[in-house]
Amino acid sequence: MRILMVGDVCGRPGRQMLREQVPQLKRAHKIDLTIVNGENAAAGFGVTRPIYEEILAAGADVVTLGNHTFDKREAVSLLDEEPRLLRPLNYPPGTPGQGYCIVQAGGQRVLVANAMGRVFLPMDLDCPFRGVDALLEEQSGRYDLFFLDFHAEATSEKEAMGWYLDGRAAGVVGTHTHIQTADDRVLPGGTAYLTDVGMTGPSESVLGMDRKAVIGRFLSQMPARFEVAEGKRQISAVVVATDPESGLATEVQRILIRE
Is the CB of 58 or the CB of 116 nearer to Fe ion? 116
Considering the complex, what minimum distance in angstroms separates the CB of residue 143 from Fe ion? 26
Minimum CB separation of residue 135 from Fe ion in Å reads 21
What's the min distance (Å) between Cβ of 156 and Fe ion? 17
- The C-alpha angle 176, 179, 185, rounded to 5 degrees, equals 90
Q: Are 25 and 18 in contact (CB under 8 A)?
A: no
CB of 24 to Fe ion, least distance (A): 27
Out of 68, 151, 176, 178, the active site residue is: 68
CB nearer to Fe ion: give 7 or 66.
Answer: 66
Q: Kindly tell me which of 176 and 254 has the beta carbon lying closer to Fe ion.
A: 176
Between 187 and 199, whose beta carbon lies closer to Fe ion? Answer: 199
Between 205 and 242, CB nearer to Fe ion? 205
What is the contact surface with Fe ion in residues (CB under 5 A)?
66-67, 176
Type of residue found at 172: V
Is the Cα dihedral 46, 49, 50, 53 positive or negative?
A: positive
- HSE of 107, CA atoms in CB hemisphere, 13 A: 5
- Alpha-carbon gap, residue 246 to 250, rounded angstroms: 10
Q: Which residues pair with 33 in a beta bridge?
A: 3
Bridge-based pairing state of the strands 233-242 and 249-258: antiparallel
Q: Which helix (H) or strand (E) holds 105?
A: strand 100-105
| Closest C-alpha to 46, from 34, 21, 64 | 64
Interaxial angle between packed helices 11-28 and 49-57, expressed in degrees from 0 to 180 and rounded to the nearest 10: 30
Query: What is the closest distance, in whole angstroms, from the C-beta atom of residue 178 to Fe ion in the complex?
Result: 8
Would you call 68 a catalytic residue per the annotation?
Answer: yes
* Consecutive H or E run containing 215: helix 211-220
Catalytic residues: 68
